């Protein structure tokens, strides 16, 4: 068994845990070592029994003088042990853990860590961590004890044992891949020491130094992998060279024909995209824009240029709702110019949509079906690209000969994350809203004003002949989250509250026909209030909706709240966003109140990164796009150091064969730009 052995092919004891370990992203033996602690319990104070004081968190060592099961007056079973050393005796008790008697026997030398307190008038260690002392070594007690992210049936104690065993067995097998000059320049630990000390440090400072080395590795390898992917993209061969200047008049007429004026950001984006499409290399660009900032119009300009150059375009969206929305929008913009436009989704029959020889084919993942072929695909547009896996993106690109690729996202990505994770793409940011677009007035509503808010919503809808969304995080009530509103249950309750209005329900588990009907009813103003799960986050555009109320708003990231807020404010009327929460935590309230004053998605995402940590960033941990296990996206200084070292190293990789091998391994694990 080596570090690369898959868990499912390892020993019987590992195989039994395989499916549970996969929940922790542990697939092979090596993954145990990079499943790092998120904190340490400080049990390093080792005391003689005779000097232990009530209230202390201590570790004691001694001989087990007695251990037995006892029953309390109400027939609950407790395990009681008496431990002694040369200074005295102390009791230890556990509650309803009879298996302890199979582990700890009378006469054993044990180490116990926990809090000392009085139990039955006697000084006692209450539910201490325990282990049998072997060769004078301890891993669960008497030291800084690592505490790991867990899953059902896999405890920190079990993980600790596996990590310790692997480290003992594999000593000397960790191949150092980071060049010595970088380690010296950045003051980094050796690899083997870092792996050992992040799990079993002698001090918090040592643990932090170990984490810094492993974080640097992760960021450094990511940067090198990204540079490698960019180089591979550039070397894929010539792309279709489109003539932009030749069709300048047609493009100017297209822009003049729009029912609105383009923002400066849109004009800049179109110029950058046309520059890419005209240079003879395949474009690989990410267009990030606010909800409602006009990404689709920018994409339409690229599609029209493709058409003028005699090529076809494909437009892939993650959901049927979004695909249909784009079909409507792009048909209005481009059909008058002579483009034939088709739509294909998983629920449409090929006989009805055999239009893959059209100028533009819009669809869901169904567009990558082998049945769908293109004559000369020149441009691929992928909306909400983080929702597609690498295989799907590759499949759509492979339907043409090195077509240009324009990826789009409305997910606000902090600049730090964008430069780190999307460094293989050229980035264009739409940071302006269309002229005349009003800011959505946003309020965090305290619980005591809930009834008043309901009354205000009803009054606004009737007064302005408008509509509203009410968003709930879950479809059905979750047993362990009873305070969180459930859409189905809330729908029934709200029908009574808004008795004079028509309510509809929308969630992801509904059948396609049901979804289409409720959305059509909402569009036709037959429904006043749409109660929904976050399925409305993307792809629904109803200018008459002016109010969105979000239940349990603390459960959403700021970027996601911002996207939900973008469902309103799409028409001329003033729009409103009401955030409801039962949370009382000051930090949570402060985070949510930032929505009242910040209306730029990237700023909110950056703030979320600082307040909630990198694990909460929407859109960076989906379908294969790299997510960090150890490093922290908010550690800007370390990210910059890793980026600079990677840039300096990239052209000289041939001199470092071990590092080169490591990058090859990383490249096969993570996403490629195609």
Question: What CATH number is attached to the domain comprising 123?
Answer: 2.40.50.140
Confirm whether 436 is domain-assigned.
no
CB atoms within 10 A of CB 137: 12
Q: How far apart are the first and last CA of the chain?
A: 35
Name the helix (H) or strand (E) containing 287.
Answer: strand 284-289
Q: Are residues 449 and 522 located together in one domain of the fold?
A: yes
CATH code of the domain containing 390: 3.40.50.300
* Judgement on whether residues 364 and 389 belong to the same structural domain of the protein: yes
Given 99, 125, 142, the domain boundary residue is: 142
Contacts of 71 by beta carbon, 8 Å cutoff, 6+ apart: 77, 78
CA–CA dist 322, 4 (Å, integer):
42
Query: Does the residue 296 lie in any domain?
Result: yes
Percentage with pLDDT > 70 across the chain:
91
Over residues 394-423, the mean pLDDT reads 81
Strands 360-363 and 312-316: parallel
Q: Do 370 and 257 belong together in one domain?
A: yes
pLDDT for residue 477: 54
Pair 404, 526 in one domain: no
Nearest residue to 233 (alpha-carbon basis) of 453, 53, 393:
393
What is the C-alpha to C-alpha distance for residues 355 and 357, in angstroms, rounded to an integer?
5
Residues 504 and 521 sit within 8 Å (Cβ to Cβ): yes
pTM here?
0.73
Contact (CB, 8 A) for 529 and 504: yes
Domain edge (last residue) among 598, 626, 651: 598
Annotate 492-530 with three-state secondary structure: HHHHHHCCCCCEEEECCCCCHHHHHHHHHHHHCCCCCEE
The domain tally of the chain equals 3
If you average pLDDT over residues 305-312, what whole number do you get? 96
Is the same domain home to 399 and 494? no
pLDDT digits (tens, 9 = 90+) for 537-560: 555 678 899 999 999 999 888 888
- Domain stop point among 106, 124, 142: 142
In a domain, residue 18? The reply is no
419 and 524 fall within a common domain: no
Mean pLDDT computed over 128-155 = 91
Residue 305 binned pLDDT confidence (cut-offs 50, 70, 90)? very high
In a domain, 655, yes or no: no
27 inside domain: no
Answer yes or no: is 103 within a domain.
yes
Residue range 223-235, pLDDT digits in tens: 998 888 888 887 7
Q: Cα dihedral sign for 450, 456, 459, 463? A: negative
Question: Using CA atoms, how far apart are residues 458 and 595, in angstroms rounded to an integer?
Answer: 23
395 in a structural domain = yes
Query: Of 86-100, 125-139, 468-482, which range is least confident?
Result: 468-482
The CA distance from 193 to 178, in Å, is 13
Are 531 and 453 in contact by the 8 Å Cβ rule? The answer is no
Q: Are residues 287 and 372 in the same domain?
A: yes
| Residues 355 and 399 placed together within one structural domain of the fold | yes
CA–CA gap between residue 325 and residue 258 (Å, rounded):
18
Residue 33 has pLDDT above 70, yes or no: yes
∠ Cα 160 658 185 (to 5°): 80
Q: Where are the beta strands (DSSP E) in 44-76?
A: 57-71
Instruction: Give domain status of residue 170, yes or no.
Output: no
Structural domain harbouring 527? 441-598
419 and 509 assigned to the same domain: no
**Mean of pLDDT values over 194-202:** 96
Q: How far is the C-alpha of 585 from the C-alpha of 591, rounded, in Å?
A: 10
My answer on whether 291 and 382 are in the same domain is yes
Q: Are residues 292 and 379 in the same domain?
A: yes
Judgement on whether residues 383 and 315 belong to the same structural domain of the protein = yes
């Amino acid at each position: 068994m080596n570090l690369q052995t898959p868990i499912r092919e390892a020993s019987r004891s590992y195989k039994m845990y395989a499916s549970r370990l996969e929940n922790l992203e542990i697939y092979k033996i090596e993954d145990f070592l990079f499943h790092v602690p998120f904190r340490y319990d400080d049990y390093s104070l080792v005391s003689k029994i005779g000097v232990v004081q009530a209230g202390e968190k201590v570790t004691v060592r001694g001989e087990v003088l007695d251990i037995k099961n006892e029953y309390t007056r109400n027939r609950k079973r407790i395990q009681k042990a008496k431990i002694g050393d040369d200074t005295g005796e102390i009791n230890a008790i556990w509650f309803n853990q009879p298996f302890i008697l199979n582990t700890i026997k009378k006469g054993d030398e044990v180490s116990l860590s926990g809090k000392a307190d009085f139990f039955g008038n006697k000084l006692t260690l209450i539910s201490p961590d325990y282990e049998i002392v072997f060769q004078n070594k301890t891993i669960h007690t008497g030291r800084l004890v690592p505490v790991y992210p867990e899953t059902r049936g896999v405890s920190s104690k079990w993980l600790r044992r596996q990590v310790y065993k692997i480290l003992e067995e594999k000593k000397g097998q960790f191949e150092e891949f980071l060049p010595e000059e970088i380690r010296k320049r950045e003051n980094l630990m050796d690899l083997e020491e870092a792996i050992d000390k992040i799990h079993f440090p002698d001090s918090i400072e040592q643990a932090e130094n170990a984490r810094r080395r492993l974080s640097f590795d992760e960021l450094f390898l990511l940067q090198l992998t990204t540079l490698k992917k960019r180089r591979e993209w550039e070397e894929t061969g010539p792309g279709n060279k489109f003539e932009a200047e030749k069709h300048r008049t047609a493009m100017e007429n297209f822009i003049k024909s729009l029912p609105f004026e383009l923002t400066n950001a849109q004009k800049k984006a179109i110029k950058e995209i046309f520059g890419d499409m005209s240079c003879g290399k395949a474009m690989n660009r990410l267009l990030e824009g606010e909800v409602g900032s006009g990404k689709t119009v920018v994409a339409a300009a690229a599609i029209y240029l493709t058409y003028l150059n005699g090529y076809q375009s494909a437009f892939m969206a993650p959901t049927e709702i979004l695909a249909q929305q784009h079909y409507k929008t792009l048909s209005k913009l481009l059909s008058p110019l002579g483009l034939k436009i088709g739509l294909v989704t998983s629920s449409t029959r090929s006989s009805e949509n055999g239009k893959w020889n059209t100028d533009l084919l819009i669809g869901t993942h169904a567009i990558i079906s082998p049945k769908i072929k293109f004559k000369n695909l020149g441009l691929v547009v992928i909306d909400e690209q983080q929702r597609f896996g690498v295989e799907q993106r590759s499949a759509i690109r492979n339907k043409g000969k090195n077509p240009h690729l324009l990826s789009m996202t409305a997910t606000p990505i902090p600049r730090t994350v964008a430069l780190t994770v999307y460094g293989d793409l050229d980035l264009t940011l739409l940071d302006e809203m269309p002229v005349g677009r009003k800011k959505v007035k946003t309020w965090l509503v305290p619980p005591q004003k809930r009834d008043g808010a309901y009354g205000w919503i009803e009054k606004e809808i009737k007064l302005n002949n408008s509509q509203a969304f009410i968003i709930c995080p879950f479809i059905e009530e979750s047993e362990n989250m009873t305070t969180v509103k459930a859409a189905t249950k809330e729908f029934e309750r709200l029908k009574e509250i808004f008795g004079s209005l028509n309510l509809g329900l929308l969630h992801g588990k509904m059948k396609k026909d049901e979804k289409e009907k409720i959305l059509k009813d909402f569009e036709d103003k037959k429904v006043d209030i749409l109660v929904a799960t976050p399925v409305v986050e993307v792809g629904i555009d109803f200018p008459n909706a002016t109010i969105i109320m979000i239940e349990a708003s603390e459960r959403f990231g700021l970027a996601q709240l911002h996207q939900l807020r973008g469902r309103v404010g799409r028409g001329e009327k003033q729009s409103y966003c009401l955030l409801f929460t039962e949370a009382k935590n000051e930090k949570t309230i402060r985070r949510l109140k930032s929505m009242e004053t910040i209306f730029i998605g990237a700023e909110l995402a950056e703030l979320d990164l600082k307040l909630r940590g990198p694990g909460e960033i929407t859109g960076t941990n989906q379908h294969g796009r790299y997510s960090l296990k150890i490093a922290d996206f908010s550690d800007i200084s370390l990210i910059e150091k890793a980026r600079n070292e990677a840039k300096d190293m990239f052209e000289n990789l041939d001199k470092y064969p071990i590092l080169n091998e490591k990058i090859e391994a990383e490249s096969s694990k993570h996403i490629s730009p195609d």
